[in-house]
Amino acid sequence: MKILVCISSVPDTTSKINFTADKSAFDKNGIQWVINPLDEFSLTKAVKLQESQGATVTVVNVGDATTEAVIRKALAIGANDAIRVNTDAKDSFSVATEIANIAKNGGYDLILCGKESIDYNGGAVPGMVAQILDQVFVNACVGLEVNGSEVNAVREIEGGKETISVKLPAVIAGQKGLVDEKDLIIPNMRGIMSARTKPLHIQEPVGSEVKVEGVSYDAVPARAAVKMVAADNIDELVRLLHEEAKVI
Closest among 27, 35, 29, 43 to 63, alpha carbons compared: 35
The answer to whether the CB of 102 falls within 8 A of the CB of 4 is yes
How confident is the model at residue 16, as a pLDDT? Answer: 85
How many C-alpha atoms does 124 have within 13 Å on its Cβ side?
Answer: 13
- Calculate the alpha carbon distances from 87 to 39, 61, 72, 114, 130 in Å: 20, 10, 18, 20, 21
Size (the chain), residues: 248
pTM of the model: 0.87
How confident is the model at residue 104, as a pLDDT? Answer: 94
Residue-wise pLDDT tens for the chain (248 aa)?
999 999 999 999 888 888 888 888 888 888 999 999 999 999 999 999 999 999 999 999 999 999 999 999 999 999 999 999 999 998 999 999 999 999 999 999 999 999 999 988 889 999 999 999 999 999 999 999 999 999 999 998 888 999 999 999 999 999 999 999 999 999 999 999 999 999 999 999 998 888 888 888 888 888 878 889 999 999 999 999 999 888 88
How confident is the model at residue 215, as a pLDDT? Answer: 86
77 Cβ partners below 8 Å, 6+ apart? 40, 43, 44, 47, 185, 187, 191
- Assign domain 2-221 one CATH number from 3.40.50.300, 3.40.50.620, 3.60.21.10, 1.10.1740.10: 3.40.50.620
What ranges do the domains of the chain cover? 2-221
How confident is the model at residue 94, as a pLDDT? Answer: 95
